[in-house]
């Protein structure tokens, strides 16, 4: 009898352990965000060499140029060139506008400013002009988006002190500010401050409640959202999303989100940890509370991403989707239902024309397959997508893809 009781107790313990193990395995299984023909939901099975390729038209918005501290011409390297990063696009008042962070060298050094250019067709651009003017040391700006608010075109900028926007709040003095376009004066004018200790990722989006919402990272990388912006430029409430150390192994950075038909919010996060995947979260109350972010099955090479709903009824996501090559390739994914991306293609971005004579020794480092391509921002206009990005963080470029070519991706049988 004792032996029977012992056996039953042991079986009960084993069963409980198995149930716990299965539950743990399920809870740790990545959320399915990517489901491709051939490889299915397994990111390790993706054959990047066999992915479909999207061709398009390519142009340079702002060319690479020497910074203020170059070495001798025979020893010039990438770090001697001016920074060009954090690019954003909008089509407004009959033309394209692009802004970016423009610094003396390396990312986010003091005196970094915001510059802009315009274009009638999106492929031929005006010479760059400054939005902010060149700030004196230790001040600097980071471009944070173009925002059309109440008919006014605004540029958002993160203003800070020292090298980089992140660090002790009392030393960074980080704030999110706006500049307003004045057509009569043909220049940008300071509009005001939105929020202290805040750097956003992309311009505000409208919620079903008619409030604006945008992401916020503080100077310690904690992620929240700001909701409001209707009554006044500085009328915002902050709601936490995820702390920098809240989820083990996850270092949240540069989140994106969009509104689903049921008015819930769907979010994807870049992870600066070791996962080489996107993290996923949702909100059921317009961003006031969020589920704890969890690992997804979508690969990402620790870089910024952007998503856009198109007029053709599907959503696109542009990112560096192959961690094995880091940022040397940009990819475009397609989701018919705003949740699961069922197609993935490589953007066939060509090498740019040869660099100016003083930079000729760097031509190879700017070529396709070698140069880094990062920080995409996408808009739709006239049945095409315009994808702005930075090459080597030194040159601002644009790639135009026809939506009909993306339509063909969804129709094609890739089995």
pTM of the model: 0.92
* Residue 136 reports pLDDT greater than 90: yes
Distance separating alpha carbons of residues 185 and 190, to the nearest angstrom: 13
Tell me: pLDDT of 27 over 70: no
Q: What is the mean pLDDT of the chain?
A: 92
Of 255, 266, 177, 252, which is closest to residue 222 (Cα–Cα)? Answer: 252
Nearest alpha carbon to residue 397 among 165, 71, 16, 84: 84
The three-state secondary structure class of 129 is strand
Alpha-carbon distance 68 to 47, whole Å?
43
pLDDT tens for 228-272 read 999 999 999 999 999 999 999 999 999 999 999 999 999 999 999
pLDDT, average across residues 20-43: 76
3 state DSSP class of 229: coil
Note every long-range contact of 163-166, with CB atoms under 8 Å and residues 24 or more positions apart, other chains counting: 163/108, 163/109, 163/110, 164/107, 164/108, 165/108, 165/199, 165/219, 166/219, 166/220, 166/221
The pairing of strands 53-54 and 343-347 is parallel
Q: Is the pLDDT at 366 greater than 90, yes or no? A: yes
**What is the distance, to the nearest Å, from the Cα of residue 317 to the centroid of all Cα atoms in its chain?**
10
Helix/strand/coil for 361: helix
**CATH of segment(s) 53-411:** 2.120.10.10
Q: What is the pLDDT of residue 328?
A: 98
Which residues, in sequence order, are CB contacts of 30 under 8 Å at separation 6+? Answer: 277, 294, 295, 296, 297
Summarize the chain as % helix, strand, coil (round to 5). Answer: 15, 45, 40
Q: What is the predicted pLDDT for the residue at 413?
A: 67
Q: Does the pLDDT of residue 47 top 90, yes or no?
A: yes
Distances (CA, A) of 54 to 286, 329, 408: 35, 12, 10
- The string of DSSP letters for 305-355 reads -EEEE-TTS-EEEEE---GGGTTS--EEEEESSSS-B-EEEEE-PPPPSPP
Whole-number pLDDT of residue 75 = 81
**Strands 384-391, 373-381: pairing kind:** antiparallel
Q: How confident is the model at residue 18 (pLDDT cuts 50, 70, 90)?
A: very low
Q: Could you tell me which of 125, 66, 198, 181 has the C-alpha nearest to residue 400?
A: 125
Q: What is the pLDDT of residue 69?
A: 86
* pLDDT of amino acid 382: 98
CA atoms of 279 and 43, how far apart (whole Å): 14
Residues 195, 237 contacting (CB under 8 angstroms): no
> Where along the chain do its domains lie?
53-411
Question: Residue length, the chain?
Answer: 415
pLDDT at 412: 84
Q: How far apart are CA 350 and CA 362, in angstroms?
A: 16
Residue 23 has pLDDT above 50, yes or no: no
Band of the pLDDT at 71, cuts 50, 70, 90? Answer: confident
Query: Rounded to an integer, what distance in angstroms lies between the CA atom of residue 273 and that of residue 252?
Result: 8
pLDDT in tens, 178-197: 999 999 999 999 999 999 99
Q: How many CA atoms lie within 13 A of 409 on its CB side?
A: 29
pLDDT > 90: percent of the chain = 89
Where does the pLDDT of residue 414 fall: very low under 50, low under 70, confident under 90, or very high at 90 and above? Answer: low
């Amino acid at each position: 009898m004792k032996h029977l009781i012992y056996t039953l107790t042991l079986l009960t313990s084993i069963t409980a352990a198995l149930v716990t193990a299965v539950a743990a395995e399920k809870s740790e299984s990545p959320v399915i965000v990517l489901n491709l023909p051939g490889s299915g939901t397994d990111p390790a099975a993706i054959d990047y060499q066999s992915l479909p390729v999207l061709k398009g038209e390519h142009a340079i918005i702002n060319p690479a140029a020497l910074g203020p501290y170059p070495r001798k011409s025979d020893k010039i390297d990438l770090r001697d060139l001016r920074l060009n990063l954090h690019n954003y696009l909008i089509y407004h008042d009959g033309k394209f506008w692009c802004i970016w962070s423009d610094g003396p060298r390396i990312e986010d050094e003091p005196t970094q400013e915001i510059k802009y250019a315009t274009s009638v067709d999106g492929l031929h651009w005006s010479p760059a002009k400054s939005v902010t003017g060149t700030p004196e040391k230790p001040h600097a700006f980071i471009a944070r988006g173009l925002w059309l608010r109440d008919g006014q075109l605004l540029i958002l900028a993160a203003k800070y002190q020292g090298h980089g926007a992140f660090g002790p709040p009392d030393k960074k003095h980080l704030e999110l500010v706006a500049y307003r376009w004045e057509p009569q004066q043909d220049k940008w004018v300071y509009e005001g401050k939105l929020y202290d200790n805040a750097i956003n990722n992309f311009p505000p989006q409208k919620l079903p409640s008619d409030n604006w919402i945008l992401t916020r990272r503080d100077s310690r990388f904690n992620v929240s959202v700001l909701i409001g912006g209707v009554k006044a430029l500085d009328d915002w409430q902050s709601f936490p999303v995820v702390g920098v150390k809240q989820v083990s192994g996850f270092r949240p950075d540069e989140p994106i989100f969009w509104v689903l038909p049921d008015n819930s919010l769907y979010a994807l996060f870049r992870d600066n940890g070791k996962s080489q995947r996107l993290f996923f979260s949702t909100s059921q109350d317009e961003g006031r509370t969020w589920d704890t972010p969890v690992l997804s099955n979508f690969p990402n090479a620790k870089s910024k991403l952007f998503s856009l709903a198109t007029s053709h009824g599907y959503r696109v996501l542009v990112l560096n989707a192959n961690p094995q090559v880091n940022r040397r390739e940009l990819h475009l994914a397609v989701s018919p239902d705003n949740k699961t991306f069922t197609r993935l293609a490589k953007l066939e971005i060509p090498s740019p024309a040869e660099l100016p004579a003083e930079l000729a020794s760097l031509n190879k480092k700017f070529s396709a397959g070698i140069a880094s391509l990062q920080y995409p921002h996408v808009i739709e206009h006239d049945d095409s997508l315009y994808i702005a990005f930075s090459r080597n963080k030194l040159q601002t470029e644009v790639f135009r893809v026809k939506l009909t070519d993306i339509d063909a991706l969804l129709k094609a049988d890739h089995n």
